[in-house]
Amino acid sequence: MTTSNFLKISLLVIFLSFGLSAIADIPDSVLLNEVKIIERIKQKKKQAGVKYQKIDTLVLNTLAHRSLSEVLAENTPIFIKTYGRGSMASASFRGTAPSHTKVLWNDIEINNPMLGMVDFSLIPTWFMDDVSLSYGAASVKNSGGALGGSVELNNKPDWNKELKFHTLSSVGSYNTYDQFLAGNYSNSKISSRTKLFYSRSDNDFEFYNKDIISSVDLATGEKSHPKQKQKNAEYEKYGVLQELYYRAAEKDLVSLKIWNQKSDRSLPMLSSDEKENQTELDQSSGLNNYNKQYDVSLRAVANWKHYADGFKYGFNIGFIHTDLDYFLDVRLQGKESDKQIDSKSNVDSYFAKAEVSGNITKKTKFDFFAEYQKHTVDTKERIKKIGYDEERSEQSLLGSFEHEWLPGLTQTFMLRLPMIELDADPLIWASGLQYQYGKKNVLNAQLNVTRNYHRPSLNDLYFQPGGNPNLKTEKGYTGEIDLGYAFIQPHFQLKFDGSYYRSDIDDWILWLYTFKGYWEPVNVKNVEVEGMEFKIELSGDFANDFSYKIVTNYAITKSINNGNPRSWADESLGKQLPYIPEKSSNVLANISWKKSFVTYQYSYYSERYTTSSNTKETARDYLYPYYMSNVILGQRFKLSKKIKGCLQFKVENLFDEEYRSILQRPMPGRNYTVLLDFKF
């Protein structure tokens, strides 16, 4: 899809709008209100007996200018593996692979069928009204194959019956500029909302390159490393989201949502590439490698819901088109560039889903749906003239039942029948038991178990070179115990949640480098995933002028390879899978006084191995732990009765830590952002 076509579609979407939309105004006592709304709900769940987590709207509003990858990394136990600032970011849910995390946008799955995963760096938080996580067994309700869990992104109508606008502008280090605009118009029948964003950055931060030695002191043996500026790392992203809602009748709601987006990213070479990372004096000579990636996506979903007495009916249809272009250009001094890789992929996906839910009795609820997906993939590498052209259709039936046996004791049972080309896979099932005690101060205990399956992605099967059409379907059991307690007083709230989980997954798919000179996926006999998660929330207020909120997440995760040795020298058995940290934590602390506030965010990851043998013989065998601190200072103000604003100053990587998420991919040091927010 060309840039001109992208702009035409974006303009068409905007002109379809009945008006622009805005995120609901945040009152001056936003922190206090958020605490009351969230903590006083009695453990309201989509399904009893399984674990869900909803991202606080305070977080979504504060980090609206950031990508979803950053929001999840700083506020959940999910491990986000990022290839650099502005580059691809994938999610590892409870020690599983990125393809084991399913992502749904307004009830349609947006995982790329080629890769089986989602690039979270391309999802703007600005576009989302609601972000929820479904852990383990809870994900069966949303999708099959989510061995770790699922992320649900949703948009909601605003029926405030007025025209509203919201604009957000930010300027940051490395010539980074972000502009966001939203607006909403609604009456008793129609609600229309439009959101737009534009982001760009030179992304040319300086770093000490410890993968290159510039000199060695012969007397002491001390090594010196050059200070370099990251090159060829600029990015530009922009998009539009249009939402239309129509109340066709008192009990009928029809909606249409269209999300069109494009990104243009230059991908820097590895920091170990000495020719690419020359000193300033030597950059005029030698060769330069230039990587580029273009991502264009068009997503659309239409939905009809009918609310009857005790029942709800719904029907969804959706479409996703994705273009992904990547090339590697080798530029020699005094010579024309030599293109080494020129890859182009086109993906079309179609979705349909029919659902009915309701109450059989006062104590028994049910949910039944049937869904259909079809994916067509055409990917070609034009230099080597290799690629594949494949399509796959997927069908699924699901029945879900929830019954309250005794006051506070509820059981859930879900059964999903997945099919590929109408060829049935084994049944996916999940069952959960939940007990709640108390009305104001709530004790919540739950236990669940699930049997799940995950089919190989199309790249796993057909990628050239390396695809393995003989791969088996991944399958595994997962069990979880969760205990939570909420202590609520008028000006003080404390909530604790702790989970223990274990998964045994057979035929885990792992890409390994082979003697053939390329990577190839294989099935590992068994991987055991075991871990614990803890979350503590503390919040309160004093005389409505001062409020505070502290949220802490801590996770311990072990993903152990228990497969058969691939050779006599295979040292990977019994070892942690690469790039999965055993320990991680994050803290969000927010203090608000009248119209001023300060937010501190802290993240920690333990060391991660880069090899399956978990050796530490060289600095390239592991990534050292890092500790990340961010600070936000904010001041709310009013220009008039209808115009409200907020000025924020943000410092990221406060203590100038050196850290990596991927080997030989540098990350920026201390950097700054100024943000101005207006609602009117």
- Domain ranges in the chain are 3-278+286-467+478-569+579-679
Dihedral of CA atoms 576, 580, 581, 587 in degrees, nearest 10, equals -150
Predicted confidence at residue 270, as pLDDT, reads 79
Q: Residue 336's pLDDT band (boundaries 50, 70, 90)?
A: low
Higher pLDDT, 507 or 62: 507
Three-class SS of residue 37?
helix
Predicted confidence at residue 289, as pLDDT, reads 75
Q: Which of 219-223, 241-245, 284-288, 603-607 shows the lowest mean pLDDT across its residues?
A: 284-288
93 Cβ contact list (under 8 Å, min separation 6)? 78, 100, 101, 135, 146, 148, 149
Predicted confidence at residue 664, as pLDDT, reads 84
Predicted confidence at residue 23, as pLDDT, reads 30
Predicted confidence at residue 675, as pLDDT, reads 96
Three-class SS of residue 83?
coil
Residues in the chain: 680
Q: How far apart are CA 594 and CA 611, in angstroms?
A: 51
Residue 20 in this model has a pLDDT that exceeds 50 = no
Q: Which amino acid is at 513?
A: Y
Predicted confidence at residue 37, as pLDDT, reads 33
For residue 321, give both structure tokens.
Answer: 């088109």
Could you tell me the pTM of the whole model? 0.88
What letter does residue 573 receive in the DSSP assignment? Answer: T
Say what percent of the chain tops pLDDT 90: 65
Q: How far apart are CA 438 and CA 315, in angstroms?
A: 37
CA angle 573, 88, 7 (to 5 degrees): 155
661 Cβ contact list (under 8 Å, min separation 6)? 80, 81, 82, 83, 84, 623, 667
Residue 638 in this model has a pLDDT that exceeds 50 = yes
CA distances, 430 to each of 143, 293, 435, 447, 554 (Å): 12, 40, 17, 11, 26
For residue 455, give the nearest of 481, 421, 490, 488 by alpha carbon. 421
Instruction: Give the largest CA-CA distance in the chain.
Output: 85
Average pLDDT over residues 237-243: 97
Instruction: Output the CA torsion sign for 89, 94, 100, 103.
Output: negative
Average pLDDT over residues 21-47: 38
Phi and psi at residue 47, to the nearest 5° = -150, 135
Predicted confidence at residue 282, as pLDDT, reads 41
271-295 pLDDT, tens per residue?
A: 777 555 544 434 444 456 788 999 9
Predicted confidence at residue 335, as pLDDT, reads 62
Q: Which helix (H) or strand (E) holds 39?
A: helix 30-39
Predicted confidence at residue 285, as pLDDT, reads 40
107 Cβ contact list (under 8 Å, min separation 6)? 301, 303, 316, 318, 353
Residue 360 in this model has a pLDDT that exceeds 70 = yes
For residue 233, give both structure tokens.
Answer: 């790392």
Three-class SS of residue 125?
helix
Residue 21 in this model has a pLDDT that exceeds 70 = no
164-204 pLDDT, tens per residue?
A: 999 999 999 999 999 999 999 999 899 999 999 999 999 99
Average pLDDT over residues 126-139: 94
251-261 pLDDT, tens per residue?
A: 999 999 999 99
Predicted confidence at residue 439, as pLDDT, reads 82
Residue 521 in this model has a pLDDT that exceeds 90 = yes
Q: How far apart are CA 27 and CA 560, in angstroms?
A: 48
Q: Residue 617's pLDDT band (boundaries 50, 70, 90)?
A: confident
Predicted confidence at residue 46, as pLDDT, reads 66
**279-283, Cβ contacts within 8 angstroms, sequence gap of 24 or more:** 279/214, 279/226, 279/228
Q: Which amino acid is at 401?
A: F
665-677 pLDDT, tens per residue?
A: 889 999 999 999 9
Topology at the third CATH level for domain 3-278+286-467+478-569+579-679: Maltoporin; Chain A (2.40.170)
Tokens 């070609």, located at residue: 380
Say what percent of the chain tops pLDDT 70: 89
Residue 574 in this model has a pLDDT that exceeds 50 = yes
Residue 13 in this model has a pLDDT that exceeds 80 = no
Predicted confidence at residue 6, as pLDDT, reads 42
For residue 605, give the nearest of 655, 550, 670, 659 by alpha carbon. 659
Distance from CA of residue 598 to its chain's centroid? 25
Q: How far apart are CA 13 and CA 190, in angstroms?
A: 16
Q: Which helix (H) or strand (E) holds 394?
A: strand 386-406
